[in-house]
Amino acid sequence: MVVVMSIAASREDIDRVATFIAEHDARAHISQGEERTIIGVIGYQHRVQREHLATLPGVEKVIPISKPFKLVSREFKKDNTIIPINGVKIGGGIPVVIAGPCSVESEKQILETAYMVKENGGHLLRGGAFKPRSSPYSFQGLGKQGLKFLQRAREETGLYIVTEVLEAMYVPLVAEYADVLQIGARNMQNYELLKSVGRIQKPVLLKRGMSATLTEFLMSAEYIMSEGNNQIILCERGIRTFVEYTRNTLDLNVVPAVKSISHLPILVDPSHGTGRRDLIEPLSLGALAVGADGLLIEVHPRPEEALSDADQTLGEAAFKRLMHLINHFTAWQENYQQQVAGTAFA
């Protein structure tokens, strides 16, 4: 932490800051510049202190230096976290495809979709049983019945299940049926929910909030990990900007940015990220190109009948085409990495 004193700060102001730091079990390192003084805080640093320092006379601003997260950082754990689920390794180098409908609508629909996902090479099945909808008048999901339909789809196809949990109190129920629990973007800072999924031992797919900074995103993962669950899969799903041609702005920059400071795997959801069916294929390839560990794709046997998100959902032909592209790209990428291994390009 660095305390920047204002140009007008007096000797007294500087001493007061130094005393304050000493009283809080840290050491003050004073650098007297020509224009102004800056004071480094060395030793144990509790966040609250920063806000207090900012209230002292003569202080212009206080700049944090240390990252506020620990367990999710690459400094804490150097190697990539790999999460094995039913033979698939998320973060293990081969991109994983999680596909399925926005909502579970009926047993027939989810079974049909599950077979479609499986036959085209998808790795996990997603589908919403509890749906967060911005309108109280929209379809809210089938609830527990939806979970049962998902379970049936797993029994039939062998695909493992990813589904959202909306509330801390429903974590035990959803964990009974799901293989991966999804935390939606609107709940990224629902700390009770984060703590709840932190106490179970199943993988958690944590979606980035619509206006979450990278630090906030990782702090939410830190909440889960600090409770003991380290099977966390991050997921970028679009941020809110002034842009009007996509529903959200899918931020592919965040993928390598996460990789550089965290060991956790990160997926990309181009369906929600763009909200446009015609952009899903190019942005899927883009996501893998920047280093994403996999994709979340909305698919439906008959998108025009889907009860939610119809306009961003792929039908079978488009999904088959996408999987074909992904497989070819993945093969090229593996091949390229092997070829350059040990050369200056590695």
| DSSP for residue 123 | -
* Residue 21 Cβ vs a second copy, minimum distance, rounded to whole Å: 12
121 sits near a second copy (criterion: CB under 8 A)? no
Q: Which is nearer to a second copy, 179 or 309 (CB)?
A: 309
Stretch that binds a second copy, among 83-91, 115-123, 152-160, 337-345 (CB under 8 A): 337-345
The tally of CA atoms less than 13 A away on the side-chain side of residue 249 is: 11
Query: Contacting a second copy (CB under 8 A), which of 68, 84, 158, 172?
Result: 68
Among positions 301-320, residues that touch a second copy (CB under 8 A) are 303-311, 317, 320
Q: Between residue 5 and residue 64, which ones bind a second copy under the rule CB under 8 A?
A: 7, 29, 31-36, 38, 40, 42-43, 47-48, 51-52, 54-56, 63
Tally of CA atoms within 13 A in the half-sphere of 277 that contains its CB: 15
180: tokens are 């991966």
Of 124 and 193, the one with the shorter C-beta distance to a second copy is: 193
Count of residues engaged in binding a second copy, rule: CB under 8 A: 112
β-pair type (88-90, 83-85): antiparallel
Q: Kindly tell me which residue out of 24, 80, 88, 329 binds a second copy, with binding defined by CB under 8 A.
A: 329
**Both structure tokens of 220:** 């939410």
Q: Which of 25, 119, 156, 192 binds a second copy (CB under 8 A)?
A: 192
Footprint of a second copy on 213-252 (CB under 8 A): 213-216, 219-220, 222-223, 226-227, 239-246, 249-252
Return the number of the residue (7 or 22) whose C-beta is nearest a second copy: 7
One-letter identity of residue 263? H
Of 100, 148, 152, 91, nearest in space to 124 by CA: 100
Residue 140, SS3 per DSSP: coil
Find the binder of a second copy among 137, 201, 341, 342 (CB under 8 A). 137
Contact 215, 69 (CB under 8 A): yes
Q: How many residues does the chain have?
A: 346
Q: Which of residues 244-303 bind a second copy (CB under 8 A)?
A: 244-246, 249-257, 260, 273-274, 276-279, 282-283, 285-291, 303
CB closer to a second copy out of 74 and 152: 74
Structure tokens at 98: 């999680």
Q: Which is nearer to a second copy, 52 or 158 (CB)?
A: 52
Q: Is 115 exposed, middle or buried (0-12, 13-18, 19+ CB in 10 A)?
A: middle
**Helix H or strand E segment including 49:** helix 47-55
Considering only residues 75 to 94 of the shown chain, the ones binding a second copy according to CB under 8 A are 75
Report the run of H or E that residue 26 belongs to, with start and end.
strand 26-32
Number of C-beta neighbours around residue 171 at 10 A: 22
Q: What would the two tokens of residue 242 be?
A: 């002034």
State the Cα–Cα distance between residues 74 and 233, nearest whole angstrom: 15
Q: Which of 10, 19, 138, 145 binds a second copy (CB under 8 A)?
A: 138
Using CB under 8 A, which of the segments 93-101, 113-121, 133-141, 148-156 binds a second copy?
Answer: 133-141
CB of 139 to a second copy, least distance (A): 7
